[in-house]
């Protein structure tokens, strides 16, 4: 036995079976010889990326991460138990205490803005009255159908009740759709159906063009990341192609967790092959042989459909050692997150996937050279990746015909809250906020505020309805498109409550690593709770401004940088804290 | 580990500007190294000379021309022609706020270095009111060697690093939980004697706030008899084995009250084992080891 120390707690036979089913043959060699040959960190890192899947297996089997179960996982993977516990205790979906009812299914009910103003409290009360085990959850990515519920099954599959309802896309049949044209049309479970709708034509074309031409086309298209940071995709891929090293990675960031965002869920659920194809194009273009889809744990339908798509693509020779006969190898697998908003931050996502706590790393170095497993990595979200398909098929010029000079192409918008037809919409960049709300059937009641870009974005008022939704115009207006979130509130909505919840969200979701975010998020929450409906004194405004500045200047990652921006806008616009309230 | 342990055979110098002053440091140095070389004193909390930088506390941030945000000087390597400001309004603001945030939630009563910097930057933790959430942790006394007072913990990761990859490779403790609820703990927050802890005390040695302290020191403080001004430090070599670790014996009233080892000593780099750190009771000749 190797040199790790374990307590006396032992795993149940069910726990051992569940964990071993996930690990398969991937168990650490723990003989003394091996220990002497490869000591310390190098030995531990080999299998550590299986820690998260193993913890999922334990949670499902026992309803919590038991000491015995943790010991078994730690021993099989040779991860120190204290570190494994540190990882388990990081995630919303893992329980590390044996609380009453731990052996029930858990109903996660969303309490973030769109659900909060539309029945979350009532649903929680009724579920609790039925004796259900309820967990108040951050945004579940179902904002168009509030209040959102996700059932974490005990010894059975996780599920989302709303997935049983028939699906409709508000813009179904609109011939101008580019990213959404197959949604609701193609059979998401069939590769044949995907091919009948143009699937894999783009990969064929990419292989014909060659990597350099693909990169030139992407750069010419002006495509930029759709997660909020808007980094040019072509440059990112070229950096990975140019990076030293033979082991490179393509990661799809499917940890969509920004409150108000549900676009990538739609893409993955209804057009999963498109994500697989676009990742394959990224692989043959950058020279990456490893692909990872890191999807949030609360998306069971999308997870299943992606796993099916990967299996079918592999069977058809479109993944594996020789992609479509090109000689390129590309191996793709799905990994589930376990409930942590921070894991949508790219370096935190890497840490999580590697089996560590989802704590961001300081940049530089950047993922293109030092990404997953410290190797060159291109990480993009599904919306960004899916844009590659029309760019290659239609060419950069056609792509640029939509949108503006600074923001070419189309953009997905997640409409929720007080609009007549909430849902996912695709518009050319440059449509105004008012036009986008009108396209969703218009606002219900008087618009009191619109949350643009998510909880990490900012509020605007009805005065901004003429704002063109482009990267450049929103930047100039001091706001952001973020992940395409548009949550509309009317004058009946309790904005104090909404703002309190936004501060609570960041308090709960800060990873806790750096001081500005860990403490700043708590102090902001305390400040807004104390404020309530009162006018805010100048001294408190100054203090909030001080907090905004240190969080934006000195936090490690984007979560801390933006955790005070929505409240800053709410105070500036008089949505809360105004004298006249 | 530290770059002082493996100084390269041939050093390439990198020149940067710090507060308008040209500074030349070896390639691979950090901005913090350059600041030190320029004679500029920089506040640090999570930085340790023998620890891999985690850049978590953010008190050492500086303004780097061309960077949207401030950058942690402890981990950012110098690049040719960097232009760094260590005393701009933005830098002073962030340093003040980090210290103020820590002071508002953590008991810093025994963190003299931090308090000096808080005064320097004008940090006022009282701005957050009497109801500001604090660490609110009881003292953990689980053995006779050292105590853990997480009310004083600033979550700098130094003890985790010292217990893990950077020194001891014991991995008895980890950061656990998330956000403001994050705490240093063993698995399931079990007591130390049941954990992997080998009582090397290397975590105690790196703690910047006295959240980890010798039981002897804790007891003397409880008895209001901890008198640093009356203490002396004697350097000697550990007599237990042939490694030759330097010991610094801190004595008060002719009794050993704690043991440290110099950070810059080429044998220990500040680290010791249980024998050198805690095995000195025989010196006092007390039959019961008290």
What is the token pair recorded at B209? 């706030």
Instruction: Identify whether residues A252 and A367 lie together within a single domain.
Output: yes
Mutate to test the interface with B, among A68, A343, A366, A554 (most CBs of B within 10 A): A554
Domain boundary among A488, A522, A551: A488
Give a yes or no: residue A557 inside a domain. yes
- Of A447, A466, A488, the one marking the end of a domain is A488
Based on the structure, what is the number of domains in chain A?
5
**A1 contacts chain B (CB < 8 A):** no
Contact present, A318 and A331 (Cβ < 8 Å): no
Domains and CATH numbers, chain B: 1-131 (3.10.20.740), 139-284 (3.30.70.20)
Do A326 and A436 sit in the same domain of this protein? no
What does pLDDT average to over chain B? 94
Contacts B101 to A, Cβ<8 Å: 515-516, 519-520, 523, 550
Of chain A residues 343-372, which have a CB less than 8 A from chain B?
A: 357, 359, 362
For residue A539, give every residue at least 6 positions away whose Cβ sits within 8 Å of its Cβ, in sequence order, or none.
none
Residues A124 and A149 in one domain: yes
Partner-chain residue, chosen from B104, B178, B196, that has the shortest CB–CB distance to A5: B196
- Give a yes or no: residue A539 inside a domain: yes
Residue B22 burial by Cβ neighbours in a 10 Å radius (0-12, 13-18, 19+): exposed
Q: Are residues A202 and A275 in the same domain?
A: yes
ipTM: 0.95
Same domain, residue pair A220 and A251: yes
B82 Cα distance to chain centroid? 28
**B32, B58, B77, best to mutate vs chain A, most A CBs in 10 Å:** B58
Domain-ending residue, one of A400, A421, A438: A400
Residues from chain A that touch B55, judged by Cβ atoms under 8 A, are: 362, 514, 556
C-alpha dist (Å) from residue A132 to A100, A122, A124, A135, A176: 12, 14, 9, 10, 45
State whether residue A423 is helix, strand or coil: strand
Q: Of B60, B88, B64, which is closest to residue B74 (Cα–Cα)?
A: B60
Residues A247, A302 share a domain = yes
Q: How far is A457 from chain B (nearest CA, A)?
A: 18
Contacts with B69 from chain A: Cβ below 8 Å: 552-555, 561
Is A549 part of a structural domain of the chain? yes
B173-208 pLDDT tens trace: 999 999 999 999 999 999 999 999 999 999 999 999
A62 and A128 housed in the same domain? no
- Residues of chain B contacting residue A81, judged by C-beta atoms under 8 Å apart: 187, 196
The nearest alpha carbon in chain B to A87 belongs to B176
A554: domain CATH number is: 1.20.1440.230
**Is A353 within a domain?**
yes
* Low-confidence spans in chain B with pLDDT less than 50: 1-6, 289-290
User: Cα angle at A293 between A399 and A91, to 5 degrees?
Assistant: 125
Of B59, B165, B176, the CB nearest to A85: B176
Q: Are A360 and A244 contained in the same domain?
A: yes
User: What does the CA dihedral A554, A557, A563, A569 come to, rounded to 10 degrees?
Assistant: 80
| DSSP element (H, E) containing B139 | strand B139-140
From the list A82, A512, A526, which residue is nearest B171 (CB)?
Answer: A82
A244 and A345 belong to one structural domain: yes
Q: Which two tokens stand for residue B180?
A: 């403001």
The answer to whether residue A98 sits within a structural domain is no
Q: Considering just the CA atoms, what is the radius of gyration of chain A in Å?
A: 24
Within-domain flag for A448 = yes
Task: Please report residues of B whose CB lies closer than 8 A to that of A83.
Answer: 164, 171, 174
> Which pair of structure tokens corresponds to residue B185?
């703990």
- Is the separation of the CB atoms in A340 and A358 below 8 Å? yes
* List of residues 6+ apart from A92 with CB closer than 8 A: A135, A137, A138, A338, A339, A340
CA distance A330 to A120: 43
* b/e burial code for range B151-162 (CB count within 10 A of at least 16 → b): bbbbbbbbbbbb
Q: A80–B59: do the CB atoms touch at under 8 Å?
A: no
Chain B residues closer than 8 Å to A35 by CB: none
Task: Specify the pLDDT at position A34.
Answer: 53
- CATH code, A472: 3.10.20.600
Q: A321 and A197 share a domain?
A: yes
- pLDDT for B5: 45
Is residue A312 within 8 A of residue A191, CB to CB? The reply is yes
Q: Do B98 and A515 touch (CB under 8 A)?
A: yes
If asked whether residues A396 and A426 sit together in one domain, one would say no
Looking at residue B288, what is its pLDDT? 54
Please give the pLDDT value at position A40.
47
pLDDT 10s per residue in chain A (581 long)? 347 999 999 999 999 999 999 998 777 655 555 554 444 444 445 789 999 999 999 999 999 999 999 999 999 998 999 999 999 999 999 999 987 777 789 999 999 999 999 999 999 999 999 999 999 999 999 999 999 999 999 999 999 999 999 988 999 889 889 999 999 999 999 999 999 999 999 999 999 999 999 999 999 999 999 988 899 999 999 999 999 998 999 999 999 999 999 999 999 999 999 999 999 999 999 999 999 999 999 999 999 999 999 999 999 999 999 999 999 999 999 999 999 999 999 999 999 999 999 999 999 999 999 999 999 999 999 999 999 999 999 999 999 999 999 999 999 999 999 999 999 999 999 999 999 999 999 999 999 999 999 999 999 999 999 999 999 999 999 999 999 999 999 999 999 999 999 999 999 999 999 999 999 999 999 999 999 999 999 999 999 999 999 999 999 999 999 999 999 999 999 999 998 64
Q: What is the DSSP string of B61-124?
A: EEEETT-SS-EETTTPBP-TT-EEESSSHHHHHHHHHHHHHHHHHS--TT-HHHHHHHHHHT--
Residues spanned by the domain of A473? 410-488
Query: A489 by DSSP, 3-state: which?
Result: strand
pLDDT at A61: 95
Q: What is the pLDDT of residue A41?
A: 46
DSSP A537: P
A8 is a domain residue: no
Contact A51, B155 (CB under 8 A): no
Calculate how close chain A gets to B132, using CA atoms only, in Å. 7
Answer yes or no: is A581 within a domain: no
A336 and A476 share one domain = no
- For residue A155, give the CATH number of its domain: 3.40.30.10
Closest CA to A362 of B63, B59, B3, B58: B58
């Amino acid at each position: 036995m190797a040199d790790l120390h374990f307590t006396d707690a032992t795993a149940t036979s069910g726990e051992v079976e569940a964990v071993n089913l996930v690990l398969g043959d991937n168990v650490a060699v723990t003989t003394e010889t091996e220990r002497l040959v490869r000591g310390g960190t190098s030995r531990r890192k080999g299998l550590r990326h299986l820690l998260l899947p193993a913890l999922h297996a334990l949670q499902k089997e026992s309803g919590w991460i038991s000491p015995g179960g943790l010991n078994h996982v730690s021993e099989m993977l040779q991860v120190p138990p204290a570190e494994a516990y540190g990882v388990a205790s990081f995630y919303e979906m893992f329980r590390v205490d044996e609380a009453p009812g731990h052996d029930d299914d858990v109903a996660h009910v969303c309490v973030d803005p769109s659900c909060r103003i539309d029945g979350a409290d009532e649903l929680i009360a009724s579920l609790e009255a039925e004796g259900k085990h309820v967990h108040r959850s951050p945004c579940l990515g179902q904002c168009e159908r509030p209040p959102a519920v996700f059932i974490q099954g005990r010894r059975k599959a996780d599920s989302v009740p709303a997935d049983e309802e028939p699906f409709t896309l508000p813009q179904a049949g609109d011939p101008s759709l580019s990213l959404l044209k197959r949604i609701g049309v193609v059979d998401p479970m069939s590769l044949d159906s995907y091919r009948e709708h143009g699937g894999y034509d783009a990969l064929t074309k990419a292989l014909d063009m060659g990597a350099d031409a693909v990169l030139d086309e992407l750069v010419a298209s002006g495509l930029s990341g759709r997660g909020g940071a808007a980094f040019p995709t072509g440059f990112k891929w070229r950096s990975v192609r140019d990076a030293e090293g033979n082991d490179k990675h393509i990661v799809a960031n499917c940890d969509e967790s920004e409150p108000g965002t549900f676009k990538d869920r739609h893409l993955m659920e209804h057009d999963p092959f498109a994500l697989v194809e676009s990742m394959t194009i990224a692989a043959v273009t950058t020279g990456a042989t490893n692909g990872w889809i890191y999807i949030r744990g609360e998306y069971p339908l999308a997870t299943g459909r992606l796993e099916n798509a990967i299996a079918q693509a592999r069977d058809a020779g479109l993944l594996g050692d020789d992609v479509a006969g090109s000689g390129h190898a590309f191996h793709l697998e799905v990994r589930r997150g376990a409930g942590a908003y921070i894991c949508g931050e790219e370096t935190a996502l890497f840490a999580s996937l590697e089996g560590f706590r989802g704590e961001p790393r300081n940049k530089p170095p950047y993922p293109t050279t030092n990404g997953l497993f410290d190797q060159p990595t291109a990480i993009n979200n599904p919306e960004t990746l899916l844009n590659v398909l029309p760019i290659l098929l239609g060419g950069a010029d056609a792509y640029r015909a939509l949108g503006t000079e600074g923001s070419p192409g189309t953009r997905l918008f997640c409409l929720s809250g007080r609009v007549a037809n909430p849902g996912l919409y695709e518009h050319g960049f440059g449509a105004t906020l008012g036009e986008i709300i009108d396209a969703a059937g218009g606002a219900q009641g008087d618009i009191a505020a619109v949350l643009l870009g998510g909880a990490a974005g900012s509020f605007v008022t009805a005065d901004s309805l003429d704002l063109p939704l482009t990267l450049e115009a929103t930047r100039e207006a001091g706001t952001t498109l973020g992940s395409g979130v548009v949550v509309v509130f009317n004058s009946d909505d309790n904005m104090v409550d909404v703002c309190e919840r936004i501060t609570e969200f960041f308090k709960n979701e800060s990873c806790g690593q750096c001081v500005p975010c860990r403490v700043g998020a708590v102090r902001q929450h305390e400040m807004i709770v104390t404020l309530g409906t009162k006018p805010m004194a100048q001294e408190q405004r100054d203090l909030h401004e001080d907090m905004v500045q240190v969080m934006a200047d000195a936090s490690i990652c984007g979560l801390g940088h933006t955790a005070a921006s929505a409240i800053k806008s709410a105070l500036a616009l008089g949505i809360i804290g105004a004298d006249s309230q | 580990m530290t770059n002082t342990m493996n100084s390269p055979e041939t050093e390439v110098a990198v020149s940067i500007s710090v507060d308008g002053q040209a500074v030349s440091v070896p390639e691979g140095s950090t901005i913090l190294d350059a600041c030190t070389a320029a004679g500029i004193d920089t506040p640090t909390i999570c930085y340790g000379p023998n620890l891999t930088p985690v850049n978590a506390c953010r008190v050492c941030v500086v303004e780097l021309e061309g960077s949207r945000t401030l950058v942690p000087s402890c981990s950012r390597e110098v690049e040719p022609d960097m232009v760094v400001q260590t005393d701009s309004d933005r830098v002073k603001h962030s340093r003040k706020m980090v210290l103020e945030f820590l002071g508002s939630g953590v008991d810093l009563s025994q963190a003299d270095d931090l308090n000096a910097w808080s005064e320097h930057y004008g940090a006022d933790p009282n701005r957050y009111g009497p109801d500001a959430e604090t660490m609110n942790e009881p003292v953990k006394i689980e053995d006779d060697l050292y105590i853990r007072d997480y009310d004083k913990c600033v979550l700098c990761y130094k003890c985790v690093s010292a217990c893990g990859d950077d020194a001891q490779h014991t991995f008895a403790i980890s950061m656990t939980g998330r956000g403001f609820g994050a705490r240093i703990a063993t698995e399931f927050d079990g007591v130390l004697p049941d954990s992997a802890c080998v009582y090397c005390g290397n975590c105690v040695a790196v703690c910047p706030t006295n959240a980890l302290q010798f039981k002897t020191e804790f007891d003397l403080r409880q008895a209001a008899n901890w008198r640093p001004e009356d203490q002396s430090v004697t350097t000697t070599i550990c007599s237990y084995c042939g490694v030759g670790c330097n010991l610094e014996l801190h004595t008060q009233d002719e009794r050993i009250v704690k043991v440290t080892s110099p950070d810059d000593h080429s044998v220990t780099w500040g680290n010791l084992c249980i024998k050198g750190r805690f095995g000195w009771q025989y010196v006092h000749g007390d039959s019961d080891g008290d």
